[in-house]
């Protein structure tokens, strides 16, 4: 027997309608290239989204069309998120930090006909334009007075389009399973892969994000996503914040600038900020140098790569800011696990607290996890066994855009192989030990590069660290530690001695290389691939 309940579709449009009715005066504040700090209310955002939807229709956007963006986090990008998805299009965010050839490939693969860009990306687009096969119009997200000159024939001004558009738009009724957004993963091998989010997935994900043991988002929060809107929808914040009616602060292109971030946080009363570890490292260094204390920030959510325990502790001790560790992926919209302290946490011994904090947290309801061995046999949740991490859930991709065969990424039962290696303890706290391709295989045993990096980073003379496996005649691979030293810089021997007693002897790196900086990927993570290529011929001591 079926239940007698209504079956209203879970769509981004319903989210917009709710917020427009319930939180019309809540603010969105953003740093923009042409306006300085721009401030308006939700209702202004949605009113402009309606104009934009009319403009999109006039430019020929049909149901299911991809509308591409190359843009930072600001109010115009928000308007696109809502105008495109709620009028039946697919908001296709593209990462401007990728190699130009990858951007061209992605735009061609998605067959987007409309491209919205920040003015600063016009030179890039001018170079790409002759090779773009499907783009018909390029819209620069700027006011008429700040429009850059260009020789391209098909460039339009965002604000002029909005001025000329009708204010009323009849939002269509969409299906929850209709596609709403598209984001490509910046795979390190092969071509990027498109993850096509449905309305339902984005909405369920937004609900999950707001829960108390997850982002714990409320109307009185002021949220600053320092994760770009071109990277997994800024971790869903543009939907989750709107769902609860929180004030949203968007940093524009100033993501990596500690001073701007600290200024925005204090000026706007930010209570929660989200980003990758490299961003928080930069902010922490700025705060230390300027002896500045953040006034309102109480929580940050850090994910995208492993957050070192030392950084969490530094934020807590120096800034009274609690760092939540979270794990996710583009393919998971992105949230998979979230680290909130368990009941009784304060009474736990310090080393147990540290173990729990360093973990990537527990799966949020909606996400199922399992770890398996090479034969796809499930491994126990004992905190010791580690294996390939697989996931399942309503906001996990079931395949990639325009790829008919998903057998490389999904097993016969539909579980998605994350490419991560993890252990899970009896309480469900999951710890990522590595990406499958980053794990170091020494004499048939696995060494976790993340565990070694965490130890290196707990040394006060280390600003950044990475561990990679390099070829070894006897052991196949051995760990090589690369560090960006702080002041005073540790010696090689002191660095290696720091590992003693903290890991098994055979885990201790064979060598240390001091570098000025570590290479980053387009999503701000340390590029182990580049490091492996760079140090492929590194001669380890004693390997002669």
Q: Which is nearer to ligand AMP, 85 or 521 (CB)?
A: 521
225 to 28, 156, 236, 241, 258: CA distances (angstroms): 12, 28, 9, 10, 14
Q: Which is nearer to ligand AMP, 129 or 326 (CB)?
A: 326
Q: Which is nearer to ligand AMP, 113 or 193 (CB)?
A: 193
Q: Which is nearer to ligand AMP, 102 or 305 (CB)?
A: 305
Q: Is-catalytic flag, 185?
A: yes
Show Cβ contacts of residue 32 under 8 Å, excluding neighbours closer than 6 positions.
38, 74, 75, 76, 252
CB 6, min distance to ligand AMP, A: 35
CB 360, min distance to ligand AMP, A: 5
3-state SS class at 194: strand
Cβ neighbours around 44 below 10 Å, total: 16
Q: Which is nearer to ligand AMP, 278 or 523 (CB)?
A: 523
Pairwise CA distance, residues 107 & 127, whole Å: 14
Show Cβ contacts of residue 339 under 8 Å, excluding neighbours closer than 6 positions.
324, 325, 326, 356, 357, 359, 360, 361, 362, 429
Q: Which is nearer to ligand AMP, 114 or 227 (CB)?
A: 227
User: Which residues on adjacent β-strands are paired with residue 273?
Assistant: 224, 300
Residue nearest to ligand AMP (CB): 330
Catalytic residue among 105, 160, 446, 530: 446
Cβ neighbours around 409 below 10 Å, total: 18
DSSP string, 241-272: HHHHT-EEEE-BT-TT-HHHHHHHHHHHT--E
Pairwise CA distance, residues 351 & 388, whole Å: 26
CB 512, min distance to ligand AMP, A: 23
Q: Six-digit token pair at 262? A: 């600290």
Q: Is-catalytic flag, 473?
A: no
Pairwise CA distance, residues 483 & 357, whole Å: 23
Strand order in the sheet with 430-435: 368-372, 386-392, 416-424, 430-435
Q: Is-catalytic flag, 390?
A: no
Task: Tokens 């387009």: give the residue.
Answer: 522
Chain centroid to Cα 280, Å, comes to 13
Q: Which is nearer to ligand AMP, 232 or 508 (CB)?
A: 232
Show Cβ contacts of residue 116 under 8 Å, excluding neighbours closer than 6 positions.
67, 68, 69, 70, 71, 76, 80, 138, 139, 141, 158
Phi-psi region of 4 (alpha: psi -120 to 50; beta: other; left: phi over 0): beta
Q: Which is nearer to ligand AMP, 20 or 449 (CB)?
A: 449
Q: Which is nearer to ligand AMP, 327 or 386 (CB)?
A: 327
Pairwise CA distance, residues 173 & 396, whole Å: 24
Q: Residue numbers of the site for ligand AMP (CB under 6 A)?
A: 185, 232, 303-306, 325-330, 334, 360, 418-420, 432, 435, 523
Show Cβ contacts of residue 282 under 8 Å, excluding neighbours closer than 6 positions.
256, 257, 258
Q: Is-catalytic flag, 446?
A: yes
CB 180, min distance to ligand AMP, A: 18
DSSP 396: S
Catalytic residue among 352, 441, 491, 506: 441
Cβ distance 195 to 400 under 8 Å? yes
CB 216, min distance to ligand AMP, A: 18
Catalytic residue among 11, 32, 185, 330: 185
The CA-to-CA distance between both ends of the chain, in Å, stands at: 73
Catalytic residue among 331, 370, 381, 507: 331
CB 114, min distance to ligand AMP, A: 25
CB 448, min distance to ligand AMP, A: 11
CB 326, min distance to ligand AMP, A: 6
Q: Among 83, 400, 459, which Cα is nearest to 238's? A: 83
CB 420, min distance to ligand AMP, A: 5
User: Which residues on adjacent β-strands are paired with residue 323?
Assistant: 300
Half-sphere exposure in the Cβ direction for 131 (13 Å, CA) = 15
List active site positions.
185, 331, 441, 446
């Amino acid at each position: 027997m079926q239940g007698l309940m209504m079956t209203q579709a879970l769509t981004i449009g319903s989210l917009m309608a709710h917020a427009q009715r319930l939180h019309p005066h809540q603010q969105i504040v953003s740093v923009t290239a042409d306006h300085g700090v721009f401030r308006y209310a939700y209702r202004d955002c949605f009113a402009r989204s309606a104009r934009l939807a009319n403009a999109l229709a006039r430019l020929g956007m049909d149901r299911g069309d991809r509308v591409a963006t190359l843009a930072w986090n600001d109010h115009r990008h928000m308007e696109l998120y809502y105008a495109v998805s709620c009028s039946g299009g697919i908001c296709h965010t593209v990462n401007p930090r990728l190699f130009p050839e990858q951007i061209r490939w992605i735009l061609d693969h998605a067959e987007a006909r409309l491209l919205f860009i920040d003015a600063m990306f016009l030179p890039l687009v001018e170079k790409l334009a002759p090779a773009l096969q499907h783009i018909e119009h390029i819209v620069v997200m700027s006011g008429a007075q700040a429009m850059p000159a260009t020789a391209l024939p098909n460039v339009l001004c965002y604000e002029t389009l909005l001025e000329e558009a009708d204010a009323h738009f009849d939002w269509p009724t969409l299906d929850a399973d209709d596609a709403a957004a598209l984001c490509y993963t910046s795979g390190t091998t092969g071509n990027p892969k498109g993850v096509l989010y449905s309305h339902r997935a984005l909405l369920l994900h937004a609900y999950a994000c707001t829960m108390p043991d997850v982002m714990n988002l409320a109307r009185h929060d002021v949220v600053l996503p320092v994760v770009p809107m071109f990277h997994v929808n800024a971790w869903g914040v543009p939907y989750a914040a709107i769902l609860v009616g929180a004030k949203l602060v968007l940093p524009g292109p100033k993501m990596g600038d500690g001073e701007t971030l600290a200024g925005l946080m204090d000026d706007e009363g930010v209570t929660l900020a989200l980003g990758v570890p490299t961003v928080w490292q930069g902010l922490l260094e700025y705060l230390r140098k300027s002896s500045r204390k953040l006034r309102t920030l109480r929580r940050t959510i850090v994910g995208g790569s492993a957050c070192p325990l030392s950084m969490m502790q530094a934020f807590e001790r120096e800034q009274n800011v609690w760092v939540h560790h979270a794990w996710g992926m583009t393919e998971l919209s992105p949230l998979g696990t979230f680290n909130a302290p368990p009941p009784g946490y304060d009474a736990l011994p310090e080393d147990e607290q540290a173990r729990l904090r360093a973990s990537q947290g527990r799966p949020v309801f909606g996400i199922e996890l399992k770890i398996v061995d090479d034969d796809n046999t499930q491994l126990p949740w004992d905190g010791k066994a580690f294996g390939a991490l697989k996931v399942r859930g309503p906001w996990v991709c079931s395949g990639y855009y325009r790829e008919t065969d998903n057998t490389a990424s999904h097993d016969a039962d539909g579980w998605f192989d994350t490419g991560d290696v993890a252990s899970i303890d009896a309480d469900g706290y999951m710890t990522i030990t590595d990406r499958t391709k980053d794990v170091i295989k020494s004499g048939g045993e696995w060494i976790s590069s993340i565990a070694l990096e965490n130890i290196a980073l707990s040394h006060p003379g280390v600003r950044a660290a990475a561990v990679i496996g390099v070829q070894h005649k006897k052991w196949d691979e051995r760990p090589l530690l690369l560090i960006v030293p702080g002041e005073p810089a540790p010696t090689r021997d002191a660095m290696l001695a720091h590992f003693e007693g903290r890991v098994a002897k055979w885990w201790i790196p064979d060598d240390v290389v001091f570098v000025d900086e570590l290479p980053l990927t387009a999503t701000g993570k340390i590029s182990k691939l580049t490091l492996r290529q760079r140090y492929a011929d590194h001669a380890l001591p004693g390997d002669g």
